[in-house]
Chains A and B, each alone.
Chain A
Amino acid sequence: MTVIYILWLREVKRYSRSRPQIIASLAQPLLYLLALGFGLGPTFEKAGNGSYLQFMAPGVIGMGILFTSIFSGIGLLFDRQFGFLKETLVAPVPRMQIMIGRTLGGATIAFIQGTMVLIATLIAGFRPQHLAMIPLAIVFMALIAIVFGALGTTIGSTLKDMQGFQLIMNFVVMPIFFLSGALFPLSNLPIGLAAATRLDPLSYGIDGLRASFIGLSHFGVATDLMVLTGVAVVFLSLGARAFSRIQI
C-alpha cells in the first residue's frame, strides 16, 4: 500500500510543482469553450437545441480530463528518458503496484484539472441544473480520469521514444475527443459516425457528465456507468500487462 501511495504522491507533487503545465492544459479546453461556445452558440440555439455553452461545458470538462490523464501516462516516456523508470523497475515490488500508483496519481491530477475546468466554465456562465446531481458528476469525472489514465500508462509502456507521441496525439487522443460527442449531440448522426461514437469510451463519460450536469442523456446513466467501469477494468489490465513487460 505504501508503495502505491508514494508513487501516487510523486505524481501529485510533480504536478503541483509545474504551474506552467497546469495553466497550459487549462488553456486548450477554455479556448474551445470560449471560441466554439460563443462562436457556434447562436447557430446552435437557432437549430432549437438550447444554449450551446450549457451543452458543451460537460464536453470541455471531459476534454480537460482526457488530455491530462493520457499525458500523465505518457509521462512514463520522460521517466524512461531521464532514467527514473529504471529505479522503479528494479525495485522489489510487484510492477502491478507501481503501475497502479502511477495511474491513480495521473487520474488524480486529471480529476483536479477537470475540476479546474469546471470552475472556469462556471465563471464563463455554465449553470448545472441540479446541484443534487453533482456527486454523480464527480463519479463520472473520476471514471473518465481512470479509464484514460490507464490508457496513457498502456501507451507510455509501449512507446520507446517521443517520436511516437505525435502519432498518438493525432490517431488516438484527438479522435477520442472529436468522436465523443463533446462538441455535438449524438442523436441523428450519419450511421458511420454514430457507430464510431459508440466505440469511443469517452462518449459514455461525456454522456454521463451531461446527464448529471444538465439532465440530458443519450445512452442512459446506467449504461454509461457500466461501459466506463468495464473499459476501466480492460484498460487497467492492458496497462498492467504492458507495464510488466517493459524492458530497458
Chain B
Amino acid sequence: MIQVRELVKTFGDFTAVDGISFEVAAGEIFAFLGPNGAGKTTTIQMLTTLLRPTKGAIALDGLDPATHPLEARKRFGIVFQDPSLDGELTAYENMEIHGVLYHVPRKTRIERIERLMTLFELWDRRDTLVKQFSGGMKRRLEIARGFLHTPKILFLDEPTLGLDPQSRNQLWTHVKHLNETEGVTVFLTTHYMDEADRVAKRIAIIDHGKIVAQGTSQELKSQTGADSLEHAFLALTGSTIRDERADAGADQMRQFAKMWRR
C-alpha cells in the first residue's frame, strides 16, 4: 500500500531524511519510531503531499504523491503531530469543515460527528470555540476529526501526545477496529513504545534520517537481545537526547506552547 524507495529530503545543507526505503502492506499497522528530529514527521509530510521529496520514489496505493497529489490525497487521512484546528471556530464547525472537505455525505456526516464527539467526550462542548479548549481536548478533537472519514491509509503522527490514558485507550481501540473491520492501513509514529508494541504489526526505527532497523517487535527485541521494545529502541538509537531542527523547532515550540496553555 505504501512503497518508499531511497527517499531523501534536504533543507539547505541539512539532510532530514537520508535515503530511506520501506514498504507497508495493505491492511497492515506499521509503526515508524525514532527520537525527536529523526525525520519521522518530514517523512510523513512527504507521504502526504505537504513536502516534495529531494530524491527518491514514493507510491501510495501505486500513486506518486508528487505527480498525482489530488488522487493520492483521496487515499489517506491524517492526524497531525502539531495542532491543525481553527481556534476561531467551534468544535462542531471544525468537524463539519473536515467532513465537507473529505466529501462525507451530509447524513453520514451528521451521524458520525455526533458519534465520534460523544466517543471522545466532546459532544457537550460542541459549540465552544476551540481556542477555549484545553490541550487535551484539542488533541481529542483532532483525533475525532481524523476518524470522520474512512480512508484507505491512515497516518497518525504522534496521535497520543498530550492524551490521558482513557483517550489513548479509545484511540487505539478505534484504530484496531478500523484496521480489522475496514482493512485500513495504518502508518503511525509515537514515543510510547508500549503503544507501538501493542498495535503495530511491523516497526521501523529511524535515527538521523536513516532507518536503523525494521521488523516485528519480536524481531527487533531478539536482534538487540533486549527484553522490551523500549530497551531495543534505546539499544538501536543510543541514549543521547536529541534536539529538533532549529527553524522548524522554533515554530513547533510556539505551537507547543499554545497547545499547553489553557
Question: Which residues does A use to contact B, with CB under 8 Å?
Answer: 2-3, 6-7, 10, 13-14, 17-18, 79, 81-94, 247-248
Contacts and interface: CB of A to CB of B under 8 A. Distances in A.
B1 interface: no
B179 to A, nearest CB: 21
Nearest to B151: A92
B83 A82 contact: yes
Interface in B74-124: 74, 76, 78, 80, 82-89, 93, 96-98, 100-103
Interface of B: 45, 48-52, 70, 73-74, 76, 78, 80, 82-89, 93, 96-98, 100-103, 129, 251, 254-255, 258
A65 B229 CA distance: 59
A247 B50 contact: yes
Given A84-B84, A248-B45, A91 B51 contact: no
Contacts of A81: 251, 254-255
Contacts, number: 80
Counting from the closest, the 10 A-B pairs by CB-CB distance are A91-B101, A83-B84, A92-B74, A92-B73, A248-B50, A87-B84, A6-B100, A83-B83, A84-B86, A14-B88
Contacts of A247: 50-52
A88 B255 CA distance: 18
Contacts of B93: 10, 13
B257 to A, nearest CB: 12
A248 B73 contact: no
A10 B50 contact: no
Contacts of B86: 10, 14, 79, 82, 84, 87
B89 A82 contact: no
Contacts of B97: 6-7, 10, 87
A93 B69 CA distance: 10
Given A81-B251, A81-B254, A92-B73, A86 B101 contact: no
Q: With a 10 A CB-CB cut-off, give which of B48, B84, B87, B96 has the most chain A CB atoms.
A: B84
A18 B103 contact: no
Contact of A93 (B49, B78, B101, B258): B101
Given A3-B100, A6-B100, A81-B251, A248 B84 contact: no
B50 A89 contact: yes
Q: In this complex, which of A7, A18, A90 has the most chain B Cβ atoms within 10 angstroms of its Cβ? A: A90
B88 A86 contact: no
B98 A87 contact: yes
Contacts of A82: 83, 85-87, 255, 258
Contacts of B101: 3, 6, 87-88, 91-93
A138 B188 CA distance: 52
Nearest to B51: A247
Given A82-B255, A248-B45, A248-B50, A14 B89 contact: yes
B89 A86 contact: no
A7 B97 CA distance: 8
Contact of A83 (B70, B85, B89): B85
Nearest to A91: B101
Given A2-B100, A83-B83, A85-B84, 5 more contacts: A14-B89, A79-B86, A82-B87, A248-B50, A248-B51
A241 to B, nearest CB: 14
A93 B85 CA distance: 18
Contacts of B254: 81
Contact of B49 (A2, A13, A84, A90): A90
B85 A84 contact: yes
Contacts of A2: 100
B76 to A, nearest CB: 8
Given A84-B85, A247-B52, A92 B80 contact: no
B157 to A, nearest CB: 11
Nearest to A246: B50
